Chain A
Amino acid sequence: MTQPTISSDGNSLSRSWTLASIGRGLLKRSWVGALIAAILLWLLAGLVTGTLSISFLLANATIAGFLALAGTAQMAVIASGPGNFDLSLPYVVTFGAYVMSAGLVGHDNIPASVALTLLVGIAAGVVNAALIVRLRIPAIVATLATGYILYSFIVAIQSGGFSRVGGLFEAALRLRFFGFSGVLAVAALTLVGVGFLLSRTVFGVQLHALGQNGEAARLAGVRRGWLLLGAFVLSGVLAAWLGVLLAVYQGGVSADLGRSYLLGSVAAVVIGGTRTTGGVTSVIGTAMGALVLTLAQSDLILLQFSIGAQYIIQGSIVLATVCFMAVRSRDRM
């Protein structure tokens, strides 16, 4: 319930309930590190190029927006309990993008295509939750299996004809207003919505309880099965929505589209300062984490680091962050 605060647009939705000064302090500390890192990386870019450019920041934010959606999806699952991860996420993203651009319900009928894509995301979430709750398969294996099956769907659909999703939707996403792109606005709005869902609804609050202590939550009247269903459906829908946005914004789809989002989504959550043992979410932290990762990559490109070095540095950031957080939480105990 202390978590999460939502938005970058400064609204105060969650403030009325984030009561505890201690809790707030902790919460703040959890993503303030990422914020500082983002600012430093922006300054570094300014130093390299010689100008501190707002449009550079916004261009990065646009890319980070996609990653933040994936990160938030992963975060919902991570919050539901220790050891829960969604490995099917990259496949849902890719498959969603294909479904969106395949025009299965008519190439011009964009709302129906979007609806169909989101339905795919829901279905993926339902299957994941059913495997976990009904067959008691660990989340990591269940989502792995679902991902495999989706991968084959991707292969099957790949050979069909694809058209660019054009029209008003594409125009809206690509619209720029002082460098602020339409797609960034859509991503931000989505994040605000998810933040609302996680912090203001019965589902969100109970999900946080479940992730902290499953047994205690059960005895406090929380229904585990339904909440897991909710978490995985949320993850699936967000991933499918990311697929929609990528398909439309980039104007093309490839089988590799979602691949980087598996590592990226977990990394964004970790760098955003959210513990990976469940019970905590921070949409703003994950968004910050995504921004840090994106800015770091841009800076490394500016500094003419090779692609290999970029990966090494990103990996080191992730490992250093988890180690740092582990040491800190140990000190707090």
Chain B
Amino acid sequence: MKHVDISAEGPPGGAVFISARNLTKSFGTHEVLRDVSLDIRAGEILVLLGPNGAGKSTMLNIVGGTLRPSSGTLAVDGEPVDFEQHISKGSRVRGIQRVFQELSTFPNLTVAENLELTARRSGAQSRREIVRHAAERMQVFPGNRIDVCAEVAQLSVAERQMVEIARAMTEPNTRLVILDEPTSALSPHEADQLAELVARKAAEGVAIVYVTHKLEEARRLAHRVVVLRDGKLHFDGDGRNLTHDELLSLLGATVEPQSSVKAVSVARVSSDLLNVEHLSSGCLRDVSIRVGAGELVGIAGLEGAGQRELLQSIFAARARDTGAVRSVSDIAYVSGDRKREGLLPLWNVEENVAISAIRRFSNAGIVDFSGLKAKANEWLSELGLSQRADSLIVSLSGGNQQRALLGRALASEAPLLLLDDPTRGVDVTAKVSIYAILDKLKEKGRSAILHSTEVAEFHKCDRVYVMARGRVVAEFDGTEVTEERIVHASFQRPKDETPQSGENKRPSGGPREASLTRLLSWRSLPAALLMCSMFALAFWQQPNAFSSFGLELLLQASLPLAFAVLAQMLFLLGGDIDLGLGFAIGLANVLAATYLVDAPMFGILALSAVVVGYVLLALIVELLGVSSVVATLGASFIWLGIGLTIRETPGGKSPEWLAAAIQVKLWPLPLPCVVLVAVAIIGLWICRGWGYSIRLRAMGHNRRTYVSLGFSALAGRVTLYALAGVFAVLSGLFLVAATGAGNVHVASSFTLATITSVVVGGASFAGGMVSPVGAVMAVVGISLVTTNLTFLGISSEYSTAIGGLILILALSFRSLARPIEP
């Protein structure tokens, strides 16, 4: 069957760009890639095919520089590659671009900013330039309706994928583009555009590696087809004349049905444990399945056809009747994604197993540990893991971890088990023992739904449903289950498929409705409403406040806080929080009042030391991974202590130039107005206008992706913290000018007040999403609350409660206005 055709050097293949030799990769004892040699040539479209788990991703990860092989070599332009460098520096330097299935754009940035982020153009670009350039690059999809100024979070999955593709395709100096199932979310029209684009790029001499499950695409595009199976190179040859059936047979669809097919026909089901009827949600379309008592039901299909979503929906509806999903029993879930969805990493094996049975072994909420332990050990000995009961679960091999997690599901005694790819990444012996467990399970009359990426595993099943693109496209009885049939059905197109993507799903009412929608989704809306209503109330109470002097009085109090808010905003921009800000400002205030008059040079040095302190905090948070909450809380003790050491009781004086500075009259607007606007503009510049701001926001939102693009998170965090320190110092200076004295406690309420303002102003704790204008409006609004209370004759102490209520209201408003927060 092995048919390696090296001689097929068709005309499109140019010089060899990447040449892989004898690549092997194993995880533990499990070999996922075995001795694969492959040349990737300039100007050639290489379509990489293979069933799930064939080693495609591993191969691409090695070429793309995110994984090092166990053995073998890689050469780029004939030069051997040092994997250490290939991985740390990133393959992007060599002109290798990847379009992932998991999207790697930053949802908090606009399309244009996402494109700009990786463009590596020198010098800061003007905003208009960035937008123009982005619109140009998006023209690879002619006639698309993507607004390059929209945040990626607002785009549909298809649109995000188009942005992702456009980014990879239009990056300068691209030599190789790896497309991993690029059309999974695209409409036929967009897929056609992509096909043209790919062909055009290849003609320009760019090498293309195209992974797909859609055979029609492979036939249309491929200059060359490479098939991987079981980690080995199964076929490598000219792809231009292959027929659909030939491709299917290369993929193993015509493999002789194995003799080991067991047509287990259980005693006919008496009652159904689970009924799913016409379930449509997320990517699922009209799914109906049933599971009887004692049945093992398989859910087959290509990766991402909706199997996982189906299992998750079933689990979420356990022991309930939600209409579409009706289950009569408790359900246990076993995930193959052990790290994310299975392991409780701090516990040993026994505890990991016992957790699911804990409710049964308890009396009035008190756990019967001896009974639980006995039960867990019973299952562990059945699984052959008795000796490892006391080991930490993370110290086990993947296969043993998976067995332990199966043990957990068995120990729950739920009659129905959901098995989500339970043999993912485990070696052959572990697989065999997992199959044995499944056999035992059936003997004991329990039911299970098995989703697997390995077709061979469905031989165990009594019935198999095959899913494709969110629908059930076939159902086979145990006797009919063959790999061939399953593979065949997986590649089917559902007959009633309607294009689900590509259409612009945003409401397209009239322009008035559109602007209303935009207003409602404006993150700073609560802050704006707050500020305006507070101004209105103040002017209504005290009409004479509507004057330059009146405004000055109204706004004076919010000045130092405004700078403090900028500092806190920078923390939230990086996804952190500063719980020591109030005392840091207090310290700056003490330093300024104590030294700036008598020893100005020393004073300036001391104030710079506060900024250095913030840089040290950045190092602790970034390099050691300490939570910013704990780090800044610890630092707050130190700020306070230094402040008290220098000046235990309030005192000192403000330098005259500083006191004079805040008395400046800037006709017609009072100084506070000007300063507040300036603060907002500075904030806006840091978040939007600066050459670095796109990167800072990207880092704040998703540090991992940011680092994987080859940027330094350390530099980013140090920048943010240092700037925050500068603003803390400025806030302290303003306080000296306003109060004429130094007092370390003067700003102790600022810590919480700044967090409130930044959050009400529109920041999200996800990081990378702050609104400086909103934050400044929130500061003004919140400090006017106090003023208004005084006007109304209510104790201003209640302003804190109102602050709390505003915070809750603003956040509830936002979660209602934007139900899906990214």
Contact = CB atoms under 8 A, between A and B. Distances in A.
Interface of A: 1-2, 16-17, 19-23, 82-83, 85, 87, 131, 135-138, 140-142, 144-149, 151-153, 155-156, 200-203, 205-206, 208-209, 212-213, 215-217, 219-222, 263, 266-267, 270, 276-277, 279-280, 306-316, 318-319, 322-323, 326-327, 330
B415 to A, nearest CB: 14
Given A208-B347, A219-B342, A266-B630, 11 more contacts: A136-B821, A144-B756, A145-B756, A201-B362, A202-B366, A206-B358, A215-B341, A312-B645, A315-B637, A318-B630, A326-B626
Contacts of A212: 344-347
Nearest to B354: A1
A120 to B, nearest CB: 15
A241 to B, nearest CB: 20
A301 to B, nearest CB: 14
Interface stretch (B686-694, B714-722, B803-811): B803-811
B159 interface: no
B385 to A, nearest CB: 14
A118 to B, nearest CB: 19
A142 B637 CA distance: 24
A322 B392 contact: no
Contacts of B482: none
A149 B639 CA distance: 27
Contacts, number: 241
Which of A19, A206, A308 has the most B CB atoms < 10 Å from its CB? A308
B629 interface: yes
A213 B343 contact: yes
Q: What's the interface size class on B, roughly?
A: 35 or more
B359 A148 contact: no
Contacts of B805: 145, 148-149
Contacts of B626: 322-323, 326
A156 to B, nearest CB: 8
A219 B314 CA distance: 12
B139 to A, nearest CB: 39
B807 A145 contact: yes
A319 B631 contact: yes
Interface of B: 315, 330, 332-333, 335, 340-348, 350-351, 354-356, 358-359, 362, 365-367, 369-370, 373, 389-392, 408, 412, 577, 620, 624-627, 629-631, 633-646, 648, 752, 755-756, 759, 765, 795, 797-798, 800-805, 807-808, 811-812, 815, 821
B804 A146 contact: yes
B634 A315 contact: yes
Contacts of B642: 308, 312
A220 B355 contact: yes
Nearest to B620: A323
B341 A209 contact: no
Given A141-B759, A216-B343, A306-B648, A276 B627 contact: yes
29 contacts: A1-B351, A17-B369, A83-B629, A137-B808, A137-B812, A144-B755, A145-B807, A145-B811, A147-B804, A148-B804, A149-B804, A152-B798, A200-B369, A202-B358, A202-B362, A212-B344, A216-B344, A222-B355, A267-B634, A270-B634, A308-B640, A308-B644, A308-B645, A312-B638, A314-B637, A315-B636, A315-B639, A316-B634, A318-B637
Contact of A326 (B355, B358, B624, B795): B624
A213 B634 contact: no
Contacts of A215: 340-341
Contact of B648 (A151, A213, A267, A307): A307
Nearest to A19: B390
A74 to B, nearest CB: 11
Contact of B347 (A2, A135, A142): A2
Main secondary structure of the interface of B (DSSP, over half): helix
B344 A209 contact: yes
- A-B pairs, 6 with minimum CB distance: A315-B637, A148-B804, A152-B801, A311-B641, A308-B645, A308-B644
Contact of B625 (A19, A148, A205, A326): A326
A322 B373 contact: no
Interface majority SS on A: helix, strand, loop or mixed?
A: helix
A153 to B, nearest CB: 7
A316 B638 contact: yes
B582 to A, nearest CB: 12
Contacts of B342: 216, 219
Nearest to A222: B355
Contact of A216 (B341, B358, B629, B648): B341
A319 B641 contact: no
A330 B366 CA distance: 35
A220 B807 CA distance: 35
B347 A151 contact: no
Nearest to A16: B369
Contacts of B811: 135, 137, 141, 145
A316 B800 CA distance: 31
A2 B352 CA distance: 11
B355 A219 contact: no
Contact of A22 (B390, B408, B620): B390
Contacts of B641: 307-315
B347 A270 contact: no
A81 to B, nearest CB: 12
Contact of A323 (B345, B347, B624): B624
A141 B644 contact: no
A131 B808 contact: yes
A147 B315 CA distance: 37
B344 A19 contact: no
Contacts of A149: 800-801, 804-805
A319 B644 contact: no
Contacts of B577: 140
Nearest to B632: A319
B643 A308 contact: yes
Contacts of A312: 637-638, 641-642, 645
Given A151-B800, A322-B634, A19 B348 contact: yes
B369 to A, nearest CB: 4
